[in-house]
Amino acid sequence: MASIFLDTLQGKPQSRPPVWYMRQAGRVLPSYLKIKEKYTFWQLMKNPELAAEVTLLPVHDLGVDAAILFSDILVIPYALGMGLDFTETGPVFEEPLKHFDHPEKKMHPRPEKLEYIYRVIDQIRKIRPENTPLIGFCGAPLTVISYMLQGLGSRSDFTDAVKWMFSHEDKLPALVDAVTEITLVYIKNQIRHGIDAFQLFETHAGLIPNRMYEKVFLPSVEKIAAAVREEGVPFIFFPKGIGDGLHMITPQHADFISVDWLTPLERARKVLDKAIGLQGNLDPRLLFSDKKTIEKELEKYLVFGREHKNWIFNLGHGFLPGTPFENARFVTDWVKEQKWE
């Protein structure tokens, strides 16, 4: 497949950086919001035709260089037997694991509950535009476990989850192992059904001290990275909020690191091994500004992109609800129209 996105991931310099966005399949798209009026989130995810359509909306509407699977990071707890409901205010678990001293005993893996996702991937591959790569993804163990412990999928500072981790640190590895094992099954099946690249979302890397992250969770990231890369699929890791902990990341952990908006790209480039490419890190809140303000900020990226070819343009996190569609389209067009040589 000829793709500026895949070529960049594989270390082949391109005339411009590829561009795609986290949370691009939803929120910002009027076409998605219109579909959402008729279906619940679960219905959209579980229907192969609908999920494939939503996955590809950003390719048609925004002109991005890659599609990312329309799904959710909390499908892993769902496959581990936790009761999960996607409400209007976000995902909620029936029984948060913070109530148990040995939560790994509450895990009842049923990987077959994820079969619907593979049917979605099959459908995307049937209808996607030519040379449009598909990014698969899942949540990293710390992030997934934080939700499982807390019981809420959004609008939480994870106070109870963090308390549990500190008071049960000796019991964390068993929980990490349980989540990692089913994650590996999930990833292998995504790859088997034809994803072209994979991103691991550690959305809450900054919840715990770096020393704890390095000891308890980073080995699982390396294990996941190895499983993806041994299949010949490029691996992107997004450790949001990790800050100075970037120095812990080595080429063993990722082909590319997605950088949040709190860490300047120049800083990340100095800290990380040159063999690791970068992705990011436009502040998604900037898109609420006027186009003149947005363009002024974008011009700073032109300087970075001309010097560093192993870089993918993206946000420092996902689109925020209410982001003006016209501004998202403006940013995409701007990236494509500049002279990056």
**In the chain, what percentage of residues exceed pLDDT 90?**
89
DSSP 310: S
Q: What are phi and psi of 202, to 5 degrees?
A: -100, 75
The answer to whether 202 and 220 have CB atoms below 8 angstroms apart is no
Of 117-121, 147-151, 211-215, 268-272, the range with the lowest mean pLDDT is: 147-151
In DSSP terms, 87 is beta-bridged to: 90
Beta-strand pair 90-93/311-312:
unpaired
Q: Per-residue confidence at 155, pLDDT binned at 50, 70, 90?
A: low
Residue where the block lists tokens 């925004």 = 62
The answer to whether 138 and 199 have CB atoms below 8 angstroms apart is no
Residue 217 token pair: 């969770």
In sequence order, what DSSP letters do the residues of 138-151 get, joined into one string?
EE-HHHHHHHHHH-
Domains and CATH numbers, the chain: 4-337 (3.20.20.210)
First and final C-alpha spacing in the chain:
24
Over residues 31-48, the mean pLDDT reads 95
Residue 139 token pair: 């949540």
pLDDT tens digit string along 164-205?
A: 999 999 999 999 999 999 999 999 999 999 999 999 999 999
| pLDDT(55) > 90 | yes
Residue 72 token pair: 């959710």
The answer to whether 205 and 253 have CB atoms below 8 angstroms apart is no
Residue where the block lists tokens 């581990």 = 80
**In the chain, what percentage of residues exceed pLDDT 70?**
99
* Length of the chain counted residue by residue: 341
